[in-house]
Amino acid sequence: MPPQNSSSTYNRFLLLVAGLGGLLYGVDVGIIGGALPYLEATSGLNAGQLSIIVAAVLLGSVISTLFAGLLADWMGRKPLMVLSGLTFVISIPIIALAHGYGPLFFGRLLQGVSGGFIGVVVPLYLAECLAASNRGKGTGIFQWLLTLGIVAAALIGIYFSYRVAEVTRTADAATLFAFKDLAWRRIFWVSLPPGILFVIGSALVAESPRWLFRRGRREAALAALLRSRPADQANTELREMEETAATERAATSAGGRVKESLLRRKYVIPFVLACVILFCNTATGINSIIGYNTNILLESGLSDIGAHWGYVVFTVVNFLMTIGGIVLVDRSGRKFLLTLGTAGIIVSLSITALLFRDSEKHTIDARAAVQSVVTPDQTASLRFDASTARQLLTEFPSASIEPTRAALSIVYSYGDFTAASNVARSDDPAAPPIAINRASCVPSNKVEAFFKNPFSNLDAARTAPLKIKKALVSPVPDARHGWFVALTLYAFMASFAIGPGVCVWLALSELMPTRIRSNGMSIALVINQVVSTTLAAIFLPIVSDYGYSAMFFLFVGFTVVYFVTAVFFLPETKGKTLEEIEEQFEKSGQSLKSPS
């Protein structure tokens, strides 16, 4: 029997390794925030392509999450953790050395594959390895270091923001362009060491005791339990596993067949709850708000450096409030924190949306003027500075927009395909011209065309004229307005961190019964990642077309559903073993069968 201090030391090491997994997940989500302005300025990619680059991580997560449960059951939790770390490590040089859309997309896709594996296997591993009294804290530490990854990414971004500002004052345009290109590549390079450490740490931890037990390796399961808890507690949990297995065998024998389906009533309730929670958790807009945070703050009125500092504060709020969630999750419970957090999100994002609507109501549509600059080869190029803004505003004498602080976004189409330009500001002398061409809008093949618009005519679009659907000129608010928006986003982040941020991984791993946990988590996370991918892919086009207010109101609507689910349908699971939670839902399933 290992001594008590030995198990405590191992638990700390286990939490450190799992935390490194959270760190990588946070880097996956947050690294693009600091790199995006420089990638946008130097890559030549349009708004749709940049949206796909941001969303590629989430798309990769969808792909890997589909198979994560099966792989975790087949090869074990520990080997899958190692594989997820290796995938992340490989993705970094692919991105940092990329030239063009294809390599960037593939590298970000690999980062997403890594994140999808980590999002399933690390919470799964923690739930199956930690004692009930520490499970909330352990999963909270995963989320805490996830937020640290986002903070680290933001600090890297602010460092390069200052470097870019320094180069802007002293260098010519070509040197500035070259430095911005170097900046986003270095931002990705510095995220490599945590991935290497996670691979090493994952190779040193023990396998999940519950996975070992279900593989018939009882002694190995007991040995794994003894590494992380006292002997009496380990024996008690092993006994509960044996009782659960005996009950399943009895049910199988009585029924004459194996019933593994997720459609069994005792599985339906926790499975549906987990899916709804995972869907709504992402539909709060958390990944999009993190990924586009710098752009949001720029458009709210902050300067480049101000927006980067605003993003740093945003990530620090996330990091600090997650500590509060870790402290409270095993005391106040999951249900209370989810209710508190979702209520705060609804209030804060509603105010954010109203602030943006107040400035966006002054927007004018100068599509006729922009249509007039379309060349005979059906392309357009427009440098949006104060002079251009003044020309576009000539036909709108009543517009309350100052040409020296204006923003322009263009929505255009070729046949059945529509795209949106990046948002350009007239007070940014280093901004490249808005370039509109067929390649930025029309897919290169029929497969891509189907996913972009399944009812489109690709051949017709390849020869169709360029049509400017909207050219929205809007005022850039002052810095005071920008900091008001930043404060509402900080309130959003605080609410998310203390509630959904900590509790979502617990809800996912605790609610699922042991027999379906890995596959059930995969299915729920696929739903989660599909929502993430969709929101990230449509974010810039919707903002270009309808404004930030519309997007934030959409997030509020989904969070209302989240709040109702937390208040009325989610049971409390704190302090219960996984087998006790499963028994609770089994009784619920039995109550559905008959009123008795």
User: For residue 590, what pLDDT is reported?
Assistant: 44
Residue bearing tokens 């939490």:
15
Supply the pLDDT for residue 424. 81
Structure tokens at 28: 């996956």
Choose among 238, 342, 329, 249: nearest CA to 569. 342
Residue 264, pLDDT score: 61
Strand partners, 36: none
pLDDT for res 82:
92
The single-letter code of the amino acid at 390 is R
Q: What is the pLDDT of residue 258?
A: 45
pLDDT for residue 120: 79
pLDDT tens profile 463-482: 999 999 888 888 888 888 88
Radius of gyration of the chain (CA): 26
For residue 435, the surrounding DSSP H or E stretch is strand 434-436
DSSP codes, 497-557? IIIIIHHHHHHHHHHS-GGGHHHHHHHHHHHHHHHHHHHHHHHHHHHHHH-HHHHHHHHHH
Greatest pairwise CA separation for the chain in angstroms: 84
- Whole-number Å distance between alpha carbons of 179 and 160: 10
Q: What is the pLDDT of residues 117-147, one digit of tens each?
A: 887 788 778 777 776 666 666 667 777 777 7
**How far, CA to CA in Å, does 226 sit from each of 130, 202, 215, 514?**
11, 19, 18, 20
Q: Is the dihedral of CA 250, 251, 256, 261 positive or negative?
A: negative
CA angle 161, 166, 168 (to 5 degrees): 95
Residue 454, token pair as written in the block:
């399944």
> What distances in angstroms separate CA 490 from CA 154, 193, 350, 497, 573, one per listed residue?
14, 29, 13, 10, 29
pLDDT in tens, 241-256: 787 777 766 665 555 4
Which residue's structure tokens are 């960037």? 104
Gap between the Cα atoms of 33 and 294, Å rounded? 6
The pLDDT value given to residue 265? 61
Query: Tell me, what DSSP letter sits at residue 408?
Result: E
pLDDT in tens, 74-128: 888 889 999 999 999 999 999 888 888 888 888 988 988 888 888 778 877 877 7
Kindly list the domain boundaries of the chain, sorted by start residue. Answer: 4-205+264-358+481-586, 211-255, 364-479
Query: Which portions of the chain are predicted below pLDDT 70?
Result: 1-7, 28-30, 33, 46-48, 51, 58, 131-139, 248-267, 447-448, 451, 507-509, 512-521, 529, 533, 537, 540, 573-596
Angle at CA of residue 61, ends 56 and 67, nearest 5°: 140
C-beta of residue 316 within 8 angstroms of C-beta of residue 562: no
Q: Is 307 helix (H, G, I), strand (E, B) or coil?
A: helix
Question: Tell me, what amino acid is at 315?
Answer: T
CA nearest neighbour of 24 among 125, 140, 146: 146
What pLDDT score was predicted for residue 575? 61
d(CA 253, CA 261): 16
Q: How far is CA 514 from CA 5, 238, 581, in A?
A: 29, 13, 10
Contact between 508 and 577 (Cβ < 8 Å): no
Output the average pLDDT for the chain: 80
Which of 480, 491, 474, 477 shows the shortest CA–CA distance to 351? 491
End-to-end CA distance of the chain: 46
Best CA proximity match to 501, nearest among 344, 396, 387: 344
Q: Given this model, what pLDDT does residue 558 score?
A: 93
DSSP state letter for 439? G
Q: Which residue is listed with tokens 């104060």?
A: 386
Span 4-205+264-358+481-586 CATH architecture: Up-down Bundle (1.20)
Place of tokens 């006994």: 239
CA dist 364 and 384 (Å) reads: 15
Which two structure tokens, joined as six digits, stand for 147? 């937020």
pLDDT at 592: 36
Q: How far apart are CA 438 and CA 462, in angstroms?
A: 7
Provide φ and ψ at 46, rounded to 5°: -85, 180
